[in-house]
Amino acid sequence: MQSTQTSEPFRVIQSDGSVGKYKVTLSDAELIQCYRTMLTVRAFDDVCMKLQRSGRIGFSVPNKGIEACQVGAASALRNTDFFFPSYRDFGMALYHGVEPVEMMHNMFGNAKDAARGRQMPVHFSFVDPIKFFSISSPIGTHLPQAVGAARAYQLRGEDHVCLTSFGDGGTSSLGFHSALNFAGVWKAPVIFLCQNNGWAISCPSSEQTASDGFAIKGVAYGVPGVVVDGNDVLAMHQAVREAADRARAGEGPTLIEAVTYRMGGHSTSDDPTKYVPKEELAKWQERDPVVRFQAYLKKRGLWTAALETEWTQAAMERVTAAAKTAEATEGPGLETIFSDVYAELPAHLRAQGEAAFDLARRKGSADAGDGAFPL
């Protein structure tokens, strides 16, 4: 594994798909699961972009180019570990068995959305089959929360770790520094995954920091850092597995800098052609993580053109069906404005609820039914 003092990121899969003498520990089934999850992430991206551009959902976040970071990291952890993700981590949930339809319910904010439409699209949260903390828009706020959860595991003597991921822009937040400080002091079982994808919206990494990368920032807090090729699934798996082993052994946190690149916009709300140099994008397109992993699988005898067609079509059909189901699902009931907070509704909220239903009834809203507040 590379240290923070080396300039070249740790890499396993070369551009031609070879891995040299590296011993791959993932089984054939796990390798195929990684690849098919990456294809599903791309399908989810494609469908969500079309839904947003056609006005059927309000927002999405492209993942193209970052899939190896997400999937490689997820493949090294248990579904009993706790994930504190950024909004560009679709693959972590999908790898551990979250169905696309559960994610699509959030994209549409319907009645089956875990947040009952209270969150923006892409702000997923799941309890089963993975512990996936609710994604939040404010940058860096989830890092101290991950440390707190890891500290709780530590105090209870439980054999779990927390992984929190964030972009290079997240290192400029107060949460990044306070989280590293507490994690270092407590030797909390937490893995910090910085996805250095080149841009914090339109701000390049070169304007984010004057330090030699981001992994080195852990040194000041007593947290070891490693630099990894984020477009290499196997390198990501190795780095996160080693960090998890350290954490479970009581040796504390690790800061991983995954050098990668987003090949789309920060979100559907910006236009990357306004700030991303064409030659830079072209260079990173040649390092496409899906294509590189495909080359490795082909050398191993696990990939063929026929399988690619089958898997790509299956991923698209699965995501398309999920979108259709979620779009056809009714919206949250009016009463959900007041539910899911108190076991017993306080009098002042009950009065507000009754007034809301009465107003909706008088305005002819179908949400109000007969006007009786149901809580």
* C-alpha distances out from residue 135 to 71, 83, 119, Å: 17, 10, 9
Rounded Cα–Cα distance for residues 361 and 332 (Å): 17
266 is catalytic: yes
Q: Helix (H, G, I), strand (E, B), or coil: what is residue 132?
A: strand
- Inter-residue contact 151 to 93 (CB < 8 Å): no
Per 3-state DSSP, the chain is made up of helix, strand and coil in percentages (nearest 5) of 50, 10, 45
Among 105, 123, 160, 266, the active-site one is 266
87 is catalytic: no
CA 309 to the chain's CA centroid: 26
Q: Please identify which residue in the block is written with the tokens 């990668």.
A: 260
Among 177, 241, 248, 275, the active-site one is 275
- Inter-residue contact 299 to 17 (CB < 8 Å): yes
Rounded Cα–Cα distance for residues 67 and 213 (Å): 21
Among 11, 88, 262, 292, the active-site one is 262
Rounded Cα–Cα distance for residues 258 and 286 (Å): 17
Residue 10's DSSP bridge partners are: 228
The strand order across the sheet containing 254-259 reads 131-132, 82-84, 162-167, 190-196, 254-259, 225-229
35 is catalytic: no
Taken in order 95, 232, 228, 198, the sign of the CA dihedral is negative
Rounded Cα–Cα distance for residues 135 and 112 (Å): 17
H or E element, residue 254: strand 254-259
Kindly report the number of other CB atoms within 10 A of residue 24's CB atom.
16
Nearest residue to 330 via CA among 119, 55, 47, 116? 116
Question: Which residues are catalytic, by number?
Answer: 262, 266, 275
